[in-house]
Amino acid sequence: MLLLIGALVGALMLLVLGPRPAALGTPTGDAVLARDATAALAPGTDFSAISVVRIRDGQPAWAGFGDVGADSRFEIGSLTKTFNGLLLADAAERGEVRLDDRLETHLAELAGTAAGSVTLEELAQHTSGLPNMAPMSTLRIIAEDLAGASYSAFGDATPQGIIEASKTIPLTSRGSWSYSNLGAALLGFALARAAGAPDWTTYVTQRLFTPLDMTETLVAATGAPAGDLLQPHNPNGNPMAPQTGTGYAPAGIGVTSTSTDLTKYAQALLSGTAPGMAALGPRIRIDSGALAGQQMGLAWVVSDADGHDVTWHNGMTGGMTSMLVVDRQAQAGVIVLGNRARDLTGAGLILLAGTDDPGIPAPPPVDGDTVAWVAVGIPLVLLFAFGAVRGRSRSRVLGQGLGAAGAVLLWGIAQPWDWAPPWTFGVALGVGVAGGVIAAMRWHRLPWLPPRRRAPAIIAFVLGVAWFCLMVGFAVYVGTLIPRTPAG
């Protein structure tokens, strides 16, 4: 009965809060691109709306999936960082800054601090040693994510608040590549300050959006997302509130655009007419993470494709994802925008290369919601193992009932991962249930069991611990992927 109740509870949680797979919508637009994009996106895409642009010989073609058009608005996330790269190179050409300027040169509040000692070039190359984010409550972020709410850590952050928080942040592994949204935000504020602009939004609009006629690329005010923004979805497919906040705007929070506007951006990059084109040139080799061996320009990732450079960046918010890649030698480019927070880098690279193996390593898919649910499920599974050798009523209820709920929940959530074989989680679930069936018998504490009952109790305990260890190992493995993904 306890196992049955626990399984039903887990199934109910899975139904309400678990993954919601979505089939790729009906394609529209260019038929050839739609066919190629369908192949590149399958399998396991789980997006209800995707917008794709492919540029060949300077000429763009568009295709969409679902209720979407070329002018549909998406959050672009960390693709915004490439704006900073261009703006930094442009500001250096104008003589407003030097690449080796220390941050404190332009943000006087950071004078004498560790953060103030890093250079603008280090910030653009993610080698400053700054952490990914300023200190924030991880548990609160997880709770807001699971609830589909806007992240308060971003909404509450202001430029001055970010600068103040940076005063006491130590540097770690300076000189090694480590992705930092905090560094990108500080770089944006420093460039705006050096140009005498009132804020970063005004600065990026005057220096980049207006010259390139990107009239539909917008930076939302805190708490005021664009009214025509498509509905974002978290990695599990549940509706997600839009993300806004001026504190992390230069890193990609609250920045939205359309395929039409980003096509103008990509064409300017291909023609060399965008300001700060020097940002696209490779400067350092990435020495860590999933992109080790690739090169870095000023905010751009530079990869080798058949002997020439391909320049790209992706982006991810709490509910959307983006990808832009250009091959200047071949005069080709690809833009992919999706309304779910799942990585599309691989699809973009495949569409550019025209082959299933583009020869460029894409970041591994990381599902932040699944990581959160693993963290929720592991304590339940631990109780499962604990209940396997306890005979008291309370222990059985906690151990077997909640343990079974956790088993069903974790197994169900793992299914949409196209890179994780579902049968492995089916086996894990079977092991957990088998342990629970044995543990459900009215045994007392192990040391006082008669010899004939000791062996089944030991088996139950071992099975419960095996299930627990498997889930811990899985969570640890997923955790190692998170900082390696260059998506904001």
- Hey, what are 232's tokens? 């974002």
Contact 52, 62 (CB under 8 A): yes
* CA dist 63 → 29, 33, 266 (Å): 4, 6, 16
Please name the residues in contact with 423: beta carbons below 8 A apart, sequence gap of 6 or more. Answer: none
How far is Cα 150 from Cα 141, in angstroms, rounded to an integer? Answer: 9
pLDDT value of position 205: 98
- Hey, what are 70's tokens? 């070329």
> 3.65.10.10, 3.40.710.10, 3.40.190.150, 3.40.50.620: which CATH number matches 74-362?
3.40.710.10
SS3 254: coil
> Is 487 a residue whose pLDDT tops 80?
no
Cis before residue 250, ω within 30 degrees of 0?
no
Burial (0-12, 13-18, 19+ Cβ within 10 Å), 57? exposed
State pLDDT tens for residues 235-287: 777 889 999 999 999 999 999 999 999 999 999 999 999 999 999 999 999 98
- pLDDT bracket for residue 385 (50, 70, 90): low
Chain centroid, CA 227 distance in Å: 24
Which residues on neighbouring strands pair with residue 272, listed in sequence order?
Answer: none
For the beta carbon of residue 455, count every other beta carbon within 10 angstroms. Answer: 10
Residues 179-202, mean pLDDT to the nearest whole number: 97
Q: Provide the mean pLDDT of the chain.
A: 80
63-77, 107-121, 141-155: least confidently modelled range? 141-155
> Is 31 a residue whose pLDDT tops 90?
yes
- The domain ranges of the chain are 2-20+368-482, 74-362
Amino acid at 390: R
3-7, 48-52, 305-309, 472-476: least confidently modelled range? 472-476
> Is 129 a residue whose pLDDT tops 60?
yes
pLDDT value of position 485: 36
SS3 133: coil
pLDDT value of position 34: 94
- Hey, what are 238's tokens? 């549940």
3-17, 288-302, 324-338: least confidently modelled range? 3-17
Residues 199-226, mean pLDDT to the nearest whole number: 96
- pLDDT bracket for residue 431 (50, 70, 90): very low
- Hey, what are 285's tokens? 């080799």
Query: 33 or 363: whose pLDDT is higher?
Result: 33
* CA dist 455 → 396, 438, 459 (Å): 18, 11, 6
Burial 93-106 (b: 16+ CB within 10 A, else e): eeebbebebbbbbb
> Is 320 a residue whose pLDDT tops 50?
yes
> Is 341 a residue whose pLDDT tops 80?
yes
How far is Cα 316 from Cα 482, in angstroms, rounded to an integer? Answer: 12
27-36, 426-435, 448-457: least confidently modelled range? 426-435
SS3 336: strand
- Please report the beta strands in 135-188, taking only residues with DSSP state E, as ranges in sequence order: none
